[in-house]
Structure formats: structure tokens, C-alpha cells
Amino acid sequence: MPTFPGMPEPLFSCSPSRLDNWRSCPRKYRMTYLDSPSPSKGPPWAHNTMGAAVHNAMRDWYALPLEGRTTDSIASLARAHWRADGFRDEQQSFEALGRAIAWLQSYVADLNPDEEPRGVERTVSVTTERLSLQGRVDRIDQRGDELVIVDYKTGRSHLTDDDAATSLALAIYALAATRTLRMPCFQVELHHLPSGETLGHRHTSESLARHLGRADSIGQEAQVAQREFKAGRVKTEEIDQVFPPTPSKLCGYCDFLEHCPEGSASSQRAVSWVAIEDR
């Protein structure tokens, strides 16, 4: 959208994952959101396939009438959403499906059937002076007079309450749920399905404000870089200063590793099923 002198800058529309992408590697951000045509991506990841099937099964399970929400129906939904993308072979995919069904059945068996969520895959939004932040929350529960953010996790890594406390996305979801559903929200939770653990944190108004301030400053950096890039004001020789590569141990999992000399020098592409082995 063109702007003219004296016009306020339009709000920068973004999601927590987009901010995370900028924070973790601005070059990856450029290749993910700005380059046209988009650079080709590496092969699909088995852990993403597994995570998507689990999330979709949980979403559709809550769409069933109360009497249909059983351990059998969650297994059927997991099978219906299952894909083989990223797995080594059919056997590995089949075994992973069995594990996903076991996690889901154990998880839903412990849920209180009388607790109807306030939202499932609900889009919520909040604005700052500079940003219009939107995100889709896996589940929003209501406990008493407050909302609770629930984020499903399917990775094998061990999570702690600190992961819930430091998550920018969860804090933004809490603020956005408060605004969208007009009810206070301070509690945020990671529900780790493989272990059955719940990792939680109760925010205060101050800690939420700190997260929002952090989001605002990350968003401002991304907004300025994106605006200059889209306006054609970033010269070819300046691109790596505006969107610097940030090599790390995560480069092996980057979809754009083959397009990135610095990432390729620091890491080899991980095999697409490595993150689901030994789970």
C-alpha cells in the first residue's frame, strides 16, 4: 500500500511464528515470505506430518457430538489424517501412526468430557502501536472466570514450565484471547502428548506486557526490512546486511538449506525422519 508524507504507517500484520522466523534467521524469513518466485524447499519432514495429523485429529474430535468423543473416534481421525510424507518407508510410517494413536487415546481418556473448550483452532488477534498480531490457538479452555491457552506438542524433546513461560507465541495468544473473547487469560500451557505432561505458566499483566513489547520490537525490525525490500530499495549487495543469515544447529532442518552457503557450510541436511526416531 503506498504511503504519503504525514500518513501513519499501516500496522504490520504478522503472526507469532512469523516473528519467530525473523528472530531465528532473517534470511530464512526472506526466503519464506518475501522472495518471488519462492525458492524450492527440501523434502517434507516426518515430524511435521505427524504433528499435523495429531493436531487435525484433535480439532475434528472436538467437532464431534459429546457422545462421539471416544478413544475409538480419535484413533479413526488420526488414521484419516495420516500421510506418509517424510517417512523412510511404509513400515516406519505405520509404526509412527501407532504411536500417535496411543498418545491421542491416552490424552483424550484423561480429558474431562464436561469441559467444552471456548475455542478450538480459534483465530485471535491483538494490536500494538505498530503490529496487528494474529494467531490460531490449538485450544482455549475456560476455567472459572478465566481463559487458558492450550498448545499441543508432539516433539520428542523434554519440555519444562520455563518453555511455557518464555514462549512469545503463548503470551501473545493469551493477550489476543483476552481481547477477542473478552475474558482475562493469564494461564498458558504446553500439552506434551508423547509424555502426557502439562507444562504451564501463569503470566501477570507485567510479564504479558514485556512479551508484547518484545514482539513489537522484533516486528518493527521485520517491518522495516520488509518494507524496504518490497519497495525495491535494497540493493543486491545489501541483501545479506538487511536479511543476515544466522547459522545454527537448526540449519540442518531448514527448508532452504540448499540455497544458503553459510547454512550449508555449518550443517548437513538432516534426514527427513530423524526427529521421529526413538519416540
With CB under 6 A as the rule, give the number of residues binding ligand SF4. 13
Query: What span, in angstroms and rounded, lies between the C-alpha atoms of 80 and 188?
Result: 30
Under the criterion CB under 6 A, does residue 262 sit at the interface with ligand SF4? yes
Task: Quote the least distance from Cβ 255 to ligand SF4, whole Å.
Answer: 8
Under the criterion CB under 6 A, does residue 105 sit at the interface with ligand SF4? no
Query: What span, in angstroms and rounded, lies between the C-alpha atoms of 17 and 31?
Result: 15
Q: Cα 163–27–41 angle (5° rounding)?
A: 90
Give whichever of 147 and 260 is closer to ligand SF4, judged by the CB atom: 260
Contact 20, 168 (CB under 8 A): yes
Under the criterion CB under 6 A, does residue 225 sit at the interface with ligand SF4? no
Under the criterion CB under 6 A, does residue 200 sit at the interface with ligand SF4? no
To which residue does cell 518466485 refer?
37
Q: Which run of H or of E encompasses 149?
A: strand 146-153
Under the criterion CB under 6 A, does residue 18 sit at the interface with ligand SF4? no
Query: What span, in angstroms and rounded, lies between the C-alpha atoms of 137 and 170?
Result: 9
DSSP 251: G
Task: Quote the least distance from Cβ 256 to ligand SF4, whole Å.
Answer: 5
Under the criterion CB under 6 A, does residue 78 sit at the interface with ligand SF4? no
To which residue does cell 512469545 refer?
168
Q: Cα 67–108–45 angle (5° rounding)?
A: 125
Task: Quote the least distance from Cβ 20 to ligand SF4, whole Å.
Answer: 12
Contact segment (CB under 6 A) with ligand SF4 among 20-28, 111-119, 123-131, 165-173 equals 20-28
Contact segment (CB under 6 A) with ligand SF4 among 108-116, 123-131, 147-155, 241-249 equals 241-249
Report the residue from 28, 47, 122, 153 that binds ligand SF4 according to the rule CB under 6 A.
Answer: 28
Grid cell locating 134? 494474529
**Which residues contact ligand SF4 by CB under 6 A?**
25, 27-28, 245-247, 251, 254, 256-257, 260, 262-263
